[in-house]
Structure 1
Amino acid sequence: MWAVGTFLVASVAVLGVSGVSLAAYAAWDVTSSITTVSLVSDDTASTPGAAPPPEISAIDGGVNLLLVGSDSRTGQGDAYGEDEGGELNDVTMLLHISQDHTNATVVSFPRDLVVDIPDCPEGGGYTAPINESLSQGGLACTVLTVESLSGLSIPFAAEIQFNGVIEMSNAVGGVPVCVSELIDDPFTGVYLEPGTSNLSGADALGFLRTRHGVGDGSDLGRISSQQVFLSSLVRTIKSDSTLNDFGKLYGLAKAAASNMTLSDRLASPDTMVSIALSLKDMDLSKVTFVAYPSFSADWVPVGKVAPDTDSAAVLFAAIQADQPVAVEAPGGIASVLDPNAPVQPGATTAPVDPAVPVDPSVPVDPDAPVDPDAPVEPTTPEPGSVNADGSTVLPSNVKGQTAADYTCSVGND
């Protein structure tokens, strides 16, 4: 989960440091720390005579990036538990940026989602939870798995580990997180009273990792709780206190580069700057976080979930068409709207008169005169239909929120 947030931070940070007098040194210092890995598409793009990859603004249909959070303890010290060997992508997120740079969609894939892992250069070729794809063939195998599941082409990818989350949250000065009910998770050591807390370092990592402490204790609940953090992180990044602070921007870029593995084509400074440019002025209400839809099924192991391909088809058709998406209502298994959220510009709230109850048993007279000033009951749009603002209506089981939605994480009671 944290991968997308840190990548957004890194992108904006690279843009920020590129515009100051120390740009040359800063760019060298940041990019010299980057570890790279090749994707299958990188091999094709690097063949003799192949055209260089285009800038993001020139890619038809927008751009897709896969962002992975690894649970590997290798080189991370002993603060995150015993190193069990192997490496799982317990966080897998797809970031789509529209071609016109007006909107972005972030899709979180549950780690327990049972999918077909395709034949990868170093493994795969069987059905298993999606978080096993990283151990089967590295980042390239996870990319192939999500491409197969979504039908999308993914030319860029990044991976981040535990230390990166800690350093990134420290660099930004902490992320304010709202909690509506007590979160008490002995497994990750997270204890948060109701209210808003500024989370950084190990506290931020613990919050992002907690599953038992939020919602229904599942990974699906953790995803909606993580979206609370992500939306606040994006608001923090885009605030003047971050964008106008060179020290923060440079620290963010350095922390990200030192703790991330990027695919070859993504590691180019020009590419990172062009991504930052596409995100820099994006409206918060046009950055949407959603969870890949799933359901319990007899054919998957206990505790795992099956992909709801019908609902997912609506989501990925919108992404393929480069259209923004709209969830039925902000929130999920472990998140609710913040009752103390600031009023957003342009927001309207229809007053409700509790003294005038609605009696559903009273028949409606089709010949009765229509009052033009009477309020109109909203209708529920069909999934796949397009709203007036051009966004595709998602099925009700595709949960999520926008970066403009102030939400609170719900503890597991």
Structure 2
Amino acid sequence: MSDQLRPRSRRSKQISTIARHGRLKRSNAFANVAKILAATLAVVMVSGVSVAALATLNVAASVKPGVTLDNETDGPIPSISSIDGGANLLLVGSDSRAGQGDGYGDPEEETSVLNDVTMLLHIAEDHSSATVVSFPRDTFVPIPECPDPDGGTFSAMSSQKINTTLNYGGLACTVKTVEALTGLSIPYAALVQFNGVAAMSEAVGGVPVCIAEPIVDSYTDLDIPAGLHELKGLEALQFLRTRHGVGDGSDLGRISNQQVFLSALARTLKSSDTLSDPIKLYSIAKAAVDNMELSNTLKSMDTMVSIAMALKDIPLDKVVFVQYPINYVDGGVEPDETAAADLIAAINADVSPTLAPGEADFLSVPDPTASATPTDPATEDPAATDAPVTTDPAPTATALPSNVYGQDASQQTCSSGRPVEDQ
């Protein structure tokens, strides 16, 4: 296998033009919007699911006058349900600054596009659990032959860092690489850039994040004191990007930092306030659609909604964020094949990973103000508080090795800042 790739050619962007023709009466357009919004609100009130509004809300935002047919009739509100079975979705974060505006560094300094965030979401077949696996960006892995978006193919490579795959062959190459590494089939994928991350955090109204020690990072211009902070927009992006300012200054510390944020985000999205706020629902839907590059399999709004709905009833303690296990090598890290096999076996068995208490310099710390595990609104049933509780036996799970670091969404943790003198 060759470890060399030919340079990618630059493709000129094709600019499409839209011809404007005669418009129908404005009243028809407003009537269509009203019908769509009414249907959306009905779905939200019945299901209580924020993501269920995704399809109809996005259509309402850009609806154009339609053609009224002689024999058309008003039909029932379409049924939206969760996807059948399990699902694997790869979320990739690009470090590209192209077209991202100010605040993210100089786009002229960019020489390549790297996937500095690579996360795999696995939803269990019975929708009882979800696992999010973060792959450290400096992990040396084999990269399979990948199609070049500009035409032709890139040769397979025996060992390159996983964060180079986006530059080599785009989102499809990153998916192929993770599939080869894990043995899992990944039919869904999405790519998000800086503006998308900022927009999504704004859409949810901010994410409450605990900071144990001040975080000061000149590389991302982040300066945030200790305490509880509601992060959104540029500040949320800086928090997710910071590496030098947290933990041990490594990408592993950044992953732990991201897990603090994502766990808080999961709790926020499942809160009753978010689920009942139509403005937030619309903002979340629009931010996702406007700021992501989606695989063809995700372009269908029905598919996006059905995948998201599969997550709505999963208890917070069954939403687990883990770091793919690695060993340190010269110039980066490599997979710990034994520990990784245990992790993938748990995913294949649809067992929520059982994490051993881990100790490492890069990890976040428990929130000292968290007196108890937060109540999950999706599972709370006040009418049943005095009734005996019976549960089906859970699948047997072997605790994963201690170097499979992570946390579940019910655990309240704090990001630990790194002193400036150590940076």
Q: Which has the higher contact order (CA 8 A, sep 6+)?
A: 1
Per-residue CA deviation, residues 12-45 of structure 1 (Å, 9 max, x unaligned), is 6441355xxxx3x63354799xxxxxxxxxxxxx
Instruction: Say whether the 8 Å CA contact 1:330–1:405 is kept in structure 2.
Output: no
Aligned runs of 1:313-352 on 2, under 5 Å? 313-329=341-357, 333-344=362-373
Letter aligned with residue 336 of structure 1: V
Aligned runs of 1:34-113 on 2, under 5 Å? 57-59=83-85, 62-83=86-107, 84-113=110-139
Bigger shift: 82-91 or 329-338?
329-338
C-alpha deviation, 1:266, in angstroms? 1.4
Give the SS at the match of 1:397.
coil
For residues 323 and 181 of structure 1, the distance between their equivalents in structure 2, rounded to whole angstroms, comes to 35
C-alpha deviation, 1:391, in angstroms? 3.7
Letter aligned with residue 112 of structure 1: D
Give the SS at the match of 2:89.
strand
Instruction: Say if 1:110 and 1:17 are closer, same or farther in 2 by CA, change over 3 A.
Output: closer
For residues 269 and 128 of structure 1, the distance between their equivalents in structure 2, rounded to whole angstroms, comes to 35
Give the SS at the match of 1:253.
helix
2:52 matched to 1:15? yes
Give the SS at the match of 2:170.
helix
Q: Partner of 1:44 in structure 2?
A: none
Instruction: Say whether the 8 Å CA contact 1:72–1:85 is kept in structure 2.
Output: no
Misfit runs of 4+, over 4 Å: none
For residues 104 and 354 of structure 2, the distance between their equivalents in structure 1, rounded to whole angstroms, comes to 36
Q: Partner of 2:416 in structure 1?
A: 410
Instruction: Say if 1:264 and 1:29 are closer, same or farther in 2 by CA, change over 3 A.
Output: farther
Instruction: Say whether the 8 Å CA contact 1:30–1:254 is kept in structure 2.
Output: no
Aligned runs of 1:203-214 on 2, under 5 Å? 203-214=235-246
Which ranges of structure 1 fall in alignment gaps of 5 or more residues?
Answer: 1-11, 33-54, 347-386
Aligned runs of 1:94-243 on 2, under 5 Å? 94-122=120-148, 123-126=154-157, 127-243=159-275
C-alpha deviation, 1:231, in angstroms? 0.2
C-alpha deviation, 1:407, in angstroms? 0.2
Identical counterparts, % of pairs:
56
Root-mean-square deviation over aligned CA pairs: 2.2
Bigger shift: 123-132 or 321-330?
321-330
Q: Partner of 1:363 in structure 2?
A: none
Instruction: Say whether the 8 Å CA contact 2:94–2:114 is kept in structure 1.
Output: yes
C-alpha deviation, 1:194, in angstroms? 1.6
C-alpha deviation, 1:334, in angstroms? 3.0
Give the SS at the match of 1:273.
helix
Give the SS at the match of 1:334.
coil
Instruction: Say whether the 8 Å CA contact 1:224–1:331 is kept in structure 2.
Output: no
C-alpha deviation, 1:56, in angstroms? 6.6
What TM-score does the superposition give when structure 2 sets the normalisation length? 0.74
C-alpha deviation, 1:173, in angstroms? 1.0
**Count of aligned residue pairs for this structure pair:** 330
Give the SS at the match of 1:65.
strand
What TM-score does the superposition give when structure 1 sets the normalisation length? 0.76
Q: Partner of 2:73 in structure 1?
A: none
Instruction: Say if 1:94 and 1:213 are closer, same or farther in 2 by CA, change over 3 A.
Output: same
Give the SS at the match of 1:280.
coil
Give the SS at the match of 1:393.
coil
Per-residue CA deviation, residues 328-384 of structure 1 (Å, 9 max, x unaligned), is 1278623011111141279xxxxxxxxxxxxxxxxxxxxxxxxxxxxxxxxxxxxxx
